Amino acid sequence: MHLRKFFLFAWIAIGLPLSAICAETTAAYVYTDLGDLPIENQTDRRVTGNATQALVESHAYGISATGHVEGVVSITTSNISTINPSGTHAVFQREIHYFDKQTHSFGAYHNGNSFGRGINTAGQIAGGGPRLGVGVGPYCGVFYGNGLFADIGSVFPAAEESSAYAINENGHISGSVVIAIHHGVTILSKKAILWNSSSAILLNDLSDINTGKSVNSLGRAINNSDQVAGWSDVVISGVTATHGCIMQDGHPAIDLGTLVGTANASARSEACGISDAGDVCGYSMIANGSNHAFLYYGGANGKMLDLGTLSRNPASFAFGMNNHRVIVGETGQGFGAQTVAMVWTADSGMQDLNKLTTGAGDWEMQVANAVNDAGQIVGDAENRKTGETHGFLLTPTALATPPSVSKTPTDFQVLVGQNITIASNITGSNPLTFQWYNNGTAIPGATSANLSLSNVQMSSSASYSVTATNLVGVTTAKVTMTVIQGVQGTNTQPTNPR
């Protein structure tokens, strides 16, 4: 059994303004490993007994326009005891925010489990948690902003559960609600909804109007015009199929169809991403029964374009796109099989992201889940040596900046016996590594942005330098610290080295 911890990674893009970034993807990307969340560091773990084994992995699912990344940490813990020699597994969920290489929790919804799925520029989150009074589930879709939670499905008293999948810049959320009765009508199905900060609206889907039969639907992505991309069941010649669709309050749903057209009434498609222009990406069944990624454009009378696959890979899936028609996803043998992360543009077609990226080391990118207008891409990668799975962030080299000193350090004095922290004041694109030196000799373990010294003595006086390195450059900062004896009755204080 897997223990899933949902959290947010937040990495800030440093460099060109968004308006200066084009959709070019032929240049290499800079790879950032988003790491995991070691269970030993969790202050809120709920593990009974002594954990003898913990498997931790991370996944990155979405990215905001400013480079904040959200995802999930999965933790599987096994507990072995003499009382239960067969072992037990502990399971709970918590949304976590990862920012500036530090982990923070926004807390639990109703003091139970919670998780996050989407984030916008304002830091508002679409996610979920248990319904009030229910500790394990069913779950309800949750909006988080300004330190407050809101249940997006609470306007439907008969709702059994709800979900929140994406959030736009207006703070509006797309998702679904499982509801039994609405306005006196028995529904008993999952329905796509739009939550607009004050109310949740059932969206028009592809329900069979002739028979009045209610079908399942779900809103997976949302643009800034409140157009929702997702899927809906549809009845064709008495056969129920699932088609990707565009839904919007007050408008009939647009059936995107499939790549096989009417040749196979049971063929399935699903829409996973939508741009502000109303372009949609997703995947559809093709004639041989496999799936291909698609781009749909043109509105109600639009066209579905087959994006194909990479060589020797029978299937491809598109999961996200930006406003430049840069599309990301995966290609491989199909769901549950070995895949590679892909990016598609009109100029270059489909490409393997692993062949466009520097700095990945032993990590092999398997799926790309989202891309922002700056061209930054997030997804999941597997380490070829350890088998670990970590979320990743790709930054186009046009955005990557070499390390630089933001504030020139000045030499300073400090009283003997004091604790002092020397700040590097170096910025640059991640991954950014540091090494501190004392009179030119590397200090073991001093690999953080700041150097902390405790109980300094006269012998601690030295020239301290730090070298910062990333994939596109290197820089060094240097400062001299002099330790002095304090004079009784004087007001001598150490100069702040920051």
What are the DSSP calls for 306-374, one per residue?
A: E----TT--EEEEEEE-TT--EEEEEESSTTS-EEEEEEETTTEEEEGGGSEES-TTEEEEEEEEE-TT
- DSSP-assigned letter for residue 443: P
Higher-pLDDT residue of 83 and 286 is 286
Domain 405-484, what fold? Immunoglobulin-like (2.60.40)
User: Which range in 66-80, 139-153, 358-372 is most confidently predicted, on average pLDDT?
Assistant: 358-372
Q: Which residues contact residue 312 at a Cβ distance below 8 angstroms, ignoring those fewer than 6 apart? A: none
Distance (Å, whole) CA 215 – CA 204: 11
Tens-digit pLDDT profile for residues 171-217: 999 998 887 655 555 556 789 999 988 788 999 999 865 455 668 99
Best CA proximity match to 96, nearest among 51, 60, 55, 48: 60
**Helix, strand, or coil (residue 394):** strand
Question: Mean pLDDT, to the nearest integer, of 370-374?
Answer: 92
Higher-pLDDT residue of 450 and 498 is 450
pLDDT at 365: 97
Alpha-helical segments (H) within 216-292: none
Task: Kindly provide the residue ranges of all beta strands, DSSP E only, lying in 83-216, ordered along the sequence.
Answer: 88-90, 96-99, 102-105, 115-119, 125-130, 139-145, 148-151, 159-167, 173-182, 185-195, 200-202
Distance (Å, whole) CA 273 – CA 447: 40
Higher-pLDDT residue of 142 and 360 is 360
Instruction: Please state the CATH superfamily assignment of the domain spanning residues 3-396 in this structure.
Output: TolB, C-terminal domain (2.120.10.30)
- Is the pLDDT at 471 greater than 50, yes or no? yes
Tens-digit pLDDT profile for residues 126-180: 877 665 544 444 556 777 777 667 777 666 665 567 888 999 999 999 998 887 6
Higher-pLDDT residue of 486 and 169 is 169
Best CA proximity match to 306, nearest among 273, 324, 283, 335: 283
Distance (Å, whole) CA 327 – CA 316: 12
- Is the pLDDT at 102 greater than 50, yes or no? no
| 191-195 CB contacts, 8 Å cutoff, 24+ apart | 191/216, 191/217, 192/217, 192/218, 192/219, 192/228, 192/230, 192/232, 192/247, 193/152, 193/153, 193/162, 193/219, 194/219, 194/222, 194/226, 194/228, 194/247, 194/249, 195/141, 195/143, 195/152, 195/164
Question: Mean pLDDT, to the nearest integer, of 285-304?
Answer: 94
- Is the pLDDT at 24 greater than 60, yes or no? no
**Buried/exposed code over 177-204 (b: 16+ C-beta within 10 A; e: otherwise):** bbbeebeeeebebbbbbbbeeeebebbb
User: Which range in 87-96, 101-110, 475-484 is most confidently predicted, on average pLDDT?
Assistant: 475-484
Ranges of each domain in the chain: 3-396, 405-484
Distance (Å, whole) CA 359 – CA 294: 30
Distance (Å, whole) CA 7 – CA 37: 10
- Is the pLDDT at 31 greater than 70, yes or no? yes
pTM of this structure: 0.75
